Amino acid sequence: MDEIVSPVAVVDEDKCRRNIRHMVTKAKKAHVAFRPHFKTHQSIAIGKWFREAGTEKIAVSSVIMAEYFATDNWQDIMIAFPVNIREISKINELASRIRIGILIADSHIVESLVQKLTAALDFYIKIDVGSHRTGFSPDVMVPIENTLNQAKANGNLRFKGFVAHAGHTYQTRSLNDVQKIFKEGAGALAKLTNYFRKDYPEIIASWGDTPSCSLMNEFPGIDEIRPGNFVFYDLMQYHLASCDWNHIAMVVAAPVVARHPERNEIVLYGGAVHLSKDFIDLDDEQLIYGECVKFTERGWERFSKPVYVKRLSQEHGIVACPEEYFDDFCPGSLIGVVPVHSCLAADLIGRYYEITEGKFLEA
């Protein structure tokens, strides 16, 4: 790993592929379509691992990401974010070449869409199943009906179904809580979809979020799942019990730059611009920004007691390190940090080193 001189996202290809295979198999068994969310890795190289596992359709969270993956011949892309009408030229251009899906989260956007859309695409209505980030209520039909009626004014707008993201599973602390959120949210989504099937027989109910897709094995009433984070998992998912430690497939490699034995602290080149400022509030009110691991010949291993990154500034990460591990943190050596939120860390770093083969990924 001498080639790694500054922070980089280190992935274990075998673990990623295993995570992908596992989710592909689960979707097949549960008879739901699989549209993985590529906002987590944002990498054409890692996208190919999905393609090799049979994936044909994907979700992304911005038009920019859709443009990026279209360059690698992805032909069916849902932009799983409330449509931003300021980007309509790019959307028209993409939709003229490949199958594009957009989300409508607010009926006020439909008038502009009807006016400005020049190429056929799929649209979905975003439903708020309880995270209260955005979307229509599943319990009030009139605004949805009005939106669908307005959309008929432009034949390019093909209604494809309802989309939900149960972001509130990230606040749970047990499998029971996740099951409850799934049951309520997916139940409401399925009921709504069935109601509108009388007029639109082909529509689907599409469901996101890694905790519920990881913890549930059946998805009654759901036609498609869109998890993203599961390709890497991270410390947050581990603490939510969405994954085992061995499913974590990405760590940030950070050079050790200084040691402070007088206060048992290590300084890493690896800060907020690499890990993001996302944290976990442990039960004892200790905030942590990542957990350190030791690199082995072709992977990494946990310390016998957890070693946490406890403060971050722009480029520095400060590790609280028990005395017995000090020798594992020599200045000039590399330490792995399991990020709290792999999506944000991957977005920040933007390049990958594959540890089994020992090489940088191309894109």
Q: Name the site residues for its own copies (rule: CB under 8 A).
A: 4-6, 39, 61-64, 81-87, 89-90, 105-106, 108-109, 112, 132-134, 137, 167, 255, 257-260, 262-263, 265, 267, 269, 272-273, 276-278, 311, 313-316, 318, 330-332, 334, 343-344, 347-348
Structure tokens at 115: 């006016």
Reduce the DSSP state of residue 101 to 3 states and report it: strand
Task: Find out whether 130 and 166 touch, Cβ atoms under 8 Å.
Answer: yes
Distance of closest approach, residue 202 Cβ to its own copies, in angstroms: 26
Reduce the DSSP state of residue 44 to 3 states and report it: helix
Nearer to its own copies, 190 or 339 (CB): 339
With the C-alpha atoms ordered 33, 163, 39, 279, is the resulting torsion angle positive or negative? negative
Nearer to its own copies, 217 or 314 (CB): 314
Nearer to its own copies, 24 or 272 (CB): 272
Distance of closest approach, residue 226 Cβ to its own copies, in angstroms: 14
Nearer to its own copies, 61 or 212 (CB): 61
Nearer to its own copies, 71 or 314 (CB): 314
Nearer to its own copies, 201 or 332 (CB): 332
Nearer to its own copies, 27 or 63 (CB): 63
Distance of closest approach, residue 205 Cβ to its own copies, in angstroms: 20
Distance of closest approach, residue 361 Cβ to its own copies, in angstroms: 19
Nearer to its own copies, 21 or 90 (CB): 90
* Contact partners, residue 270, CB within 8 Å, separation at least 6: 7, 252, 254, 255, 309, 315, 316, 317, 337
* Residues paired with residue 205 on neighbouring β-strands, in sequence order: 162
Structure tokens at 223: 């036609």
Q: Which residues of 155-192 are buried (b: 16+ CB within 10 A; e: fewer)?
A: eebebbbbbbbbbbbbebeeeebbeebbeebbebbbeb
230 secondary structure, DSSP code = G
Q: How far apart are CA 211 and CA 179, in angstroms?
A: 10
Residue 201 main-chain phi, psi, to 5 deg:
-65, -20
Reduce the DSSP state of residue 317 to 3 states and report it: strand
Distance of closest approach, residue 263 Cβ to its own copies, in angstroms: 7
Distance of closest approach, residue 197 Cβ to its own copies, in angstroms: 25
Distance of closest approach, residue 61 Cβ to its own copies, in angstroms: 5
- In terms of Cβ atoms closer than 10 Å to its own Cβ (0-12, 13-18, 19+), residue 8 is buried
Distance of closest approach, residue 284 Cβ to its own copies, in angstroms: 19
Task: Find out whether 21 and 363 touch, Cβ atoms under 8 Å.
Answer: no
Distance of closest approach, residue 112 Cβ to its own copies, in angstroms: 6
Interior angle at CA 245, CA 240 and CA 249, nearest 5: 105
Closest CA to 123 of 208, 204, 38: 204
Nearer to its own copies, 26 or 317 (CB): 317
